[in-house]
Amino acid sequence: MELLDVSLINWSRGQFALTAMYHWIFVPLTLGVGIVMAIMETLYYKTGKEEWKKATKFWMTLFGVNFACGVATGIILEFQFGTNWSNYSWFVGDIFGAPLAIEGMLAFFLEATFISIMFFGWKKVSRGFHLASTWLVMLGATFSALWILVANAWMQHPIGMQFNPDTARNEMVDFWAILLSPIALNKFAHTVLSGWVLGALFVVGVSAWFILKKRELDFALRSIKIGAIFGVVSSILIIATGDGSAYHVAQKQPMKLAAMEGLYEGKEGANIVAMGLLNPEKQYDNDEETFIVKMDVPIPKLLSLLGYRDADAFVPGIKDIIEGYTLSDGTVVPSFVEKQASGKKALQAFNDYREAKTAGNDSLAVVHKAVLDENFKNFGYGYLEKPADLIPNVALVFYSFHIMVALGMLFLVIFMAVWFFHWKKKLENVRWLLWGSLFSIPLGYLATQLGWVVAEVGRQPWAIQDVLPVQAAVSSVSTGSVQLTFFLFLALFTALLIAEIRIMVKQIQKGPGE
Amino acid sequence: MTTYAFLQHYWWFLISLLGGLLTFLLFIQGGQSMLFSLSKTEDEKRLLVNVLGRKWEYTFTTLVTFGGAFFASFPLFYSTSFGGAYWVWIIILFAFTIQAFSYEFQSKPGNVYGKTTYRSLLFINGLLGTFLLGVAVATFFTGSDFTVGKGNITNIASPVISRWGNAWHGLEALACPRNLFLGLTIFFLARTQATLFFINRLKHEVLENRSHKYLLYNAIPFVVFFLAFVISILLSEGFAVQDDGTVYMEKYKYFNNFIDMPVVGILFLLGVVAVLYGIIASILKQSFKKGIWYTGAGTVVTVTMLLLIAGYNNTSFYPSSTDLQSSLTIFNASSSEFTLKAMSWASILVPIVAGYIFIAWRALEKKKTDMDDINSDSHAY
């Protein structure tokens, strides 16, 4: 039997990351600009003013270009679970597949059906029908995000399932626990809101360009006002859900939190790092300083407070998670070595169970099943070789997290400033703010990408937290095949992105008036 | 029948129905494959692109839902086929990915690669998407080269459950004539349906007349390849399953399935008749415009019934020609009873989905499409 090599796993990961990151270039703008255009069409419906219709159609054209790219990259993402992660597809397909199927049945058809009316129905259906179609497209897009994010949240915190040794897979036992998991709901809200922030940045930035060029001023001022208000609301909400995300990470994925904060040695009353430069020599098992330079947020004990809702709570560091630790409430968390031993015991018990079943020895099978059940929570650790396997890329997670947070704060300031100067009717004179708004658009993309880097790199090595590491999830295809498809996808997506950007720029230059 | 067995049958029926609907909706791809032949002038090309472009998302969404529903209801198929027949599925994915942006981009200023490039991508989608989907589905009857070992999961160095037996990873299916028959059947069927769709939807005399000619050119090879495929599978051995799950080869298995399930057999024949009626009536009578609805409905029924005989009546729907006992059945490849039940509740909403699709379709298609329609539409491609 051929052995899986590390390069296959890394290329498969790379291919999935490539597809997901390209997909996430297009989707958040769809979510955000879509809401803005729906708001504008609602204003058109209520006031009957052609200016609102003109603005709606302008943003709708950009939405359409972007939407097509999201669809193109999305289909590959869905099917890659099968092509590149076939073991995963069987091992947890019983749970993971259901949200994808429901997403297709209920959300995608809603989008696909009403998007035709939205684009081609201006002269064919009533204004009310058209408005309803636009909102239904957005409902479909958001609904679609819900299901895929429920699936993703479940991978970060697998619940509502039970391992069945007869079928060699995990099976769903509580649909509502999966759908209504606080982690899923928070992830849904946080991710959709990140799309709203990006959409608002895009609308504000593009409108700022029109104002700087002194073109389409009426349209630009209408749009920038909607964009800024939408941005302020979204930014405030995203801070709240960001807090929720970090809280859940602290509870369920302490290694990810430790990486986000560059925390190697756990402590009670831990601070949050405002900014810092990590020492590349630092390992969990050496005595090097973690940071070359570091500045904490000037509110003491904030990490303990936000992570555990207790300013004096113990926050475990990477070393603690490897060596085992005791939480403030007395909970003892075993070391890596203990979990690894338990995981290997689970794997062995599963093997023994199957052999006993094949031999028809049911009573022995019951004994092995009991061992398996007792150790299943550490099943995935049985595949790991050494403590370092448990640690994600700390620098990548740390910097991604801190840059994302800093950018989020910057965006809130920009939205508030734009709203303020618009209200004071001085916006056209504040050119530095207009230029700043325009150049914030790529920063918005950067922030949303970094958010996913934190979420996905931070949970490595797990495909399913504690249950299935990536090396046990991958398909058995040759590394060369995956390399070839990686570069094919890279070429296709890049060509697509270049065309998309150029079309968007041309459409913006053309403006809404023509 | 236990509840679990009922649910497994119910979900195989839904998968089959989705397969039938997808095959009907592939008329979009069929139309794309004729972009450079049926239309001669730029106006004609533009008309075809726009009349197809208002419907492409239905096909795309049905394909995505087909994949999602397969994943959720029969995850071992998803795991085995997609991870094993890697290259076939990757090429199909590529073929559909390039469709998704080609409509939207082709007429937009600054599209970098030019209109012809995007139309060529649509052509490729029409060619490969239909043909390879047919080849991939044909392996449901002819078998593939894979093994499944669920116990492999405990092998830390190599825990993969499903393994493909050769380095071609699915492309070897192209060497089997019966797979090619179905691939070509689907390709010519999609083109046949496209001509019927154009006859129904276009208000353009030249294109209508040309569509009638192309209908004949495509319907004849379609019927020939369809008969070749159906006769070959009905006369060949099929992958039968004993009550204990043992898979064995049975003579005339698929023919026997029609006999054992007469309703399926009768519906299959009725579907074929509807397909042929739509085609023949359109060929014989120029004024007959409703051929697409007869052929379309017939396609949905025929394909659904074909897929039912692949999975029902103790048949392996995804057989392994290498290791018979690795073959997938609706029993050993399905999700748990709980999951199938949960999704079945969600599937109750499908009639609502069908209802709003019907309303939206009617709203946009009250009258036939002509050049004036395209020229006055600000979002036209």
Nearest alpha carbon to residue B379 among A113, A123, A137, A498: A123
Say whether B72 and A477 touch across the interface (CB within 8 A): no
Q: What is the pLDDT of residue A513?
A: 78
Which residues of chain B carry a pLDDT beneath 70?
Answer: 1
User: CA A178, A180, A186, A191 torsion: positive or negative?
Assistant: positive
Look over chain B and give the mean of its residue pLDDT values, rounded to a whole number.
95
In total, the C-beta contacts within 8 angstroms joining chain A to chain B are 296
The shortest C-alpha distance from A441 to chain B (Å) reads: 20
List the single residue in B93, B336, B360 with the smallest CB-CB distance to A172.
B336
Say whether A83 and B82 touch across the interface (CB within 8 A): yes
Q: What integer is the mean pLDDT of A15-43? A: 95
Q: Which residues of A touch B346 (CB under 8 A)?
A: 101-102, 105-106
User: Does pLDDT of A320 surpass 70?
Assistant: yes
**Unique residue bearing structure tokens 């959720």:** B72
Nearest-angstrom CA–CA distance, A4 and B170 = 20
Task: Supply the pTM of this predicted model.
Answer: 0.93
Q: What integer is the mean pLDDT of A376-401? A: 96
Say whether B75 and A492 touch across the interface (CB within 8 A): no
Say whether B364 and A499 touch across the interface (CB within 8 A): no
Give the 3-state secondary structure of residue B191. helix
Q: What is the pLDDT of residue B51?
A: 94
Nearest-angstrom CA–CA distance, B193 and B196 = 5
Neighbours of B244 (CB within 10 A): 5
Say whether B64 and A75 touch across the interface (CB within 8 A): yes
**Unique residue bearing structure tokens 């009873």:** B337
CA angle in degrees (0–180, nearest 5) for A18-A24-A27: 145
Mutant choice from A476, A478, A490, A514 vs B, greatest count of B C-beta within 10 A: A476
What's the distance, Cα to Cα, between the start and end of chain B in Å? 52
Q: What is the pLDDT of residue A340?
A: 97
Rg (CA), chain A: 25
Q: What integer is the mean pLDDT of A316-331? A: 93
Paired strand residues for A464: A468
The shortest C-alpha distance from B164 to chain A (Å) reads: 8
Question: What pLDDT band is residue A1 in, cutting at 50, 70 and 90?
Answer: very low
Reported as type and span, the H/E element at residue A432 is helix A431-457
Q: Which of A179-183, A409-413, B54-58 has the lowest mean pLDDT?
A: B54-58
Say whether A102 and B343 touch across the interface (CB within 8 A): yes
The shortest C-alpha distance from A390 to chain B (Å) reads: 16
Look over chain A and give the mean of its residue pLDDT values, rounded to a whole number.
94
List the single residue in B60, B156, B342 with the smallest CB-CB distance to A98.
B342
pLDDT tens-place string over residues A55-84: 999 999 999 999 989 989 988 988 999 999
For residues B216 and B286, the answer to whether their CB atoms sit within 8 Å is no
Q: Which residues of A touch B356 (CB under 8 A)?
A: 110, 113-114
For residues A284 and A391, the answer to whether their CB atoms sit within 8 Å is yes
> Which residue type is seen at B233?
I
Nearest-angstrom CA–CA distance, B304 and B14 = 9
Helices (H), A48-181: 50-83, 86-91, 93-102, 109-120, 127-156, 175-179
For residues A190 and A235, the answer to whether their CB atoms sit within 8 Å is no
Q: What is the pLDDT of residue B157?
A: 86
Q: What proportion of chain B, given as a percentage, has pLDDT over 90?
A: 87
For residues B203 and B370, the answer to whether their CB atoms sit within 8 Å is yes
For A230-267, give the secondary structure using H, E and C. HHHHHHHHHHHHHHHHHHHHHHHCHHHHHHHHCCCCCE
> Which residue type is seen at A474?
V
Residue of chain A nearest B121, judged by CA positions: A492
CA angle in degrees (0–180, nearest 5) for A224-A228-A233: 150
Rg (CA), chain B: 21
Q: Which residues of B touch A498 (CB under 8 A)?
A: 112
Instruction: List all residues 6 or more positions away from B198 whose beta carbon is below 8 Å from its beta carbon.
Output: B31, B38, B48, B51, B207, B208, B211
Nearest-angstrom CA–CA distance, B361 and B290 = 16
Question: What pLDDT band is residue A102 in, cutting at 50, 70 and 90?
Answer: confident
User: Does pLDDT of A438 surpass 90?
Assistant: yes
Say whether B61 and A354 touch across the interface (CB within 8 A): no
Q: What is the pLDDT of residue A505?
A: 96
Nearest alpha carbon to residue A400 among A448, A353, A346, A465: A448
The shortest C-alpha distance from B277 to chain A (Å) reads: 29
List the single residue in B97, B154, B364 with the smallest CB-CB distance to A351.
B154
The shortest C-alpha distance from A193 to chain B (Å) reads: 25
Say whether B363 and A117 touch across the interface (CB within 8 A): yes
Q: b or e along A256-279 (b: 16 or more beta carbons within 10 Å of the residue's beta carbon)?
A: bbbbbbbbbebbebbbbbeebebb
Q: Count CA atoms closer than 13 A to B38's CA, side-chain side.
A: 34
Residue of chain B nearest A174, judged by CA positions: B338
Residue of chain B nearest A64, judged by CA positions: B104
For residues A403 and A170, the answer to whether their CB atoms sit within 8 Å is no
Q: Which residues of B touch A129 (CB under 8 A)?
A: 363
Nearest-angstrom CA–CA distance, B61 and B123 = 19
Say whether A87 and B79 touch across the interface (CB within 8 A): yes
Say whether A2 and B151 touch across the interface (CB within 8 A): no
CA angle in degrees (0–180, nearest 5) for A197-A198-A200: 65
The DSSP output letter for B243 is T
Nearest alpha carbon to residue B102 among B129, B133, B124: B124
For residues A312 and A257, the answer to whether their CB atoms sit within 8 Å is no
Count, residues in chain A: 514
The structural domains of chain B, with segments of one domain joined by +, span 3-375
Q: What is the pLDDT of residue A104?
A: 84
Give the 3-state secondary structure of residue A213. coil
For residues A383 and A420, the answer to whether their CB atoms sit within 8 Å is no
Nearest-angstrom CA–CA distance, A385 and A266 = 24
Instruction: List all residues 6 or more positions away from A484 whose beta carbon is below 8 Å from its beta carbon.
Output: none
Q: Which residues of B touch A102 (CB under 8 A)?
A: 72, 343, 346
Residue of chain B nearest A126, judged by CA positions: B363
pLDDT tens-place string over residues A137-167: 999 999 999 989 999 999 999 999 999 999 9
Instruction: List all residues 6 or more positions away from A232 whose beta carbon is below 8 Å from its beta carbon.
Output: A412, A415, A416, A419
Nearest alpha carbon to residue B54 among A113, A92, A321, A233: A113
Q: What is the pLDDT of residue A448?
A: 97
Question: What pLDDT band is residue A96 in, cutting at 50, 70 and 90?
Answer: confident
Nearest-angstrom CA–CA distance, A304 and A247 = 10
Q: What is the pLDDT of residue A2?
A: 55
Q: What is the pLDDT of residue A4?
A: 64
Q: What is the pLDDT of residue A3?
A: 57
Nearest alpha carbon to residue A255 among A508, A68, A480, A461: A461
Nearest alpha carbon to residue B66 among B125, B9, B15: B15
The DSSP output letter for B81 is I
Nearest-angstrom CA–CA distance, A139 and A136 = 5
For residues B252 and B238, the answer to whether their CB atoms sit within 8 Å is yes
Q: What is the pLDDT of residue B78?
A: 93
The shortest C-alpha distance from A76 to chain B (Å) reads: 6
